[in-house]
Amino acid sequence: MVVANLRQAGRALAIGALSLRKLGAKLQPGIRFVCYHDVLPGETASLEAQLLLMREQGEFIDLDRAIGLMEARSVLDRPLFTVTFDDGLVTTCGEAWPVFERLGIPLSIFIITSLVGQPGYMSWDDIAAMAKSPLVTFGSHTVNHRNLMSLSADEVRLELTQSKAEIEAALNRRCDHFCCPWGRPDRDFRSDRDPQIAMEVGYRSFLTTQRGLTRTGDKLPLVKRDVIHMHSSRAELRHFLF
C-alpha cells in the first residue's frame, strides 16, 4: 500500500514536471478523444472544470463529426475535443449528463448491452430519454465486456453484431461506433483481426485506449483516446490532452 502510494506520488510529480514544459505552448491541431468512466456525486465540479479547461483550448465536436473528418481525411487546423463515456454507468446519466446539457457539450456513451438495467448501469428508458438529445450518441461496448483477445473470431463477431442490433432496435437508429473493452492493442484486442471484424459488420469506428492526438491522415477504424479521471489534476490534463 505504502509502495503503491509512493509510486503514485512519484508518478504525479513526474507528470507535473513534464507538463510544465507545455505551459504556454501552442496546442497542436488535431482531435483529442477523451475517455471517461465514472463521475461520482460530488465530482461534477471537477468534471465541469475539466470541460471548461478543454473549451479554453479548443472546440468540442461530436463523435459522428470527428469520425467524418477522419473518413474525409480533412485537414485539421485547430484543436478539437470529442468526449466519450465507457460502460453506460448510471452516473453518466445522473451526474455527468446534466453538466454536458448545461454547457451544451456533445458526448458519446458506450453501453454493454447485457448490463443495461442492472444495478449501477443505465436502463433502456434512461438510454432512450438521453438519445432524444442531439448532444448524445450511443455506441456499442459489446454484449458482455469480455477481453476480445480471449475470444475466437466468431465470438468477437457475435459480441459486435448482437450489441449493435440490440442498440439499433431499442433506439431505432444506426449504431455506427464500437468501443473496445479496456482497449489496449494486442492486450485487450487483436489489432490484426478485431478492427477488421468491426468494419465488416458495419461499424465506422473502433475506439481504443491507446493515447495520442489524432492528426490529419490517421487511419480508421482505430481511434486513439486518452483516459482521464475526475481526480486527474490540471497538470495531468495538460500532460495528456494539451
For binding to Zn ion (CB under 5 A), which residues are involved? 86-87, 181
Our CB check for Zn ion shows the closer of 19 and 82 to be 82
Examine residue 119 and say whether the peptide bond preceding it is cis (omega within 30 degrees of 0).
no
Question: Cβ distance 169 to 207 under 8 Å?
Answer: no
Nearest-CA neighbor of 166 among 177, 157, 175, 178? Answer: 175
Nearest-CA neighbor of 66 among 97, 99, 96, 108? Answer: 108
Extract the C-alpha cell encoding 15: 507528470
Quick one: 13 exposed, middle or buried, by C-beta within 10 A (0-12, 13-18, 19+)?
exposed
Our CB check for Zn ion shows the closer of 86 and 126 to be 86
Our CB check for Zn ion shows the closer of 19 and 163 to be 163
C-beta of 18: minimal distance to Zn ion in Å? 27
C-beta of 236: minimal distance to Zn ion in Å? 21
C-beta of 88: minimal distance to Zn ion in Å? 9
C-beta of 27: minimal distance to Zn ion in Å? 28
Our CB check for Zn ion shows the closer of 189 and 242 to be 189
C-beta of 142: minimal distance to Zn ion in Å? 8
Nearest-CA neighbor of 213 among 76, 71, 49? Answer: 76
C-beta of 181: minimal distance to Zn ion in Å? 5
Distances (CA, A) of 217 to 58, 59, 70, 221: 20, 20, 7, 12
Our CB check for Zn ion shows the closer of 65 and 190 to be 190
> Cα angle vertex 160, ends 156, 162, to 5°?
115
Our CB check for Zn ion shows the closer of 79 and 183 to be 183
The residue with its CB nearest to Zn ion is 86
Beta bridge partners of residue 52, listed in sequence order:
none
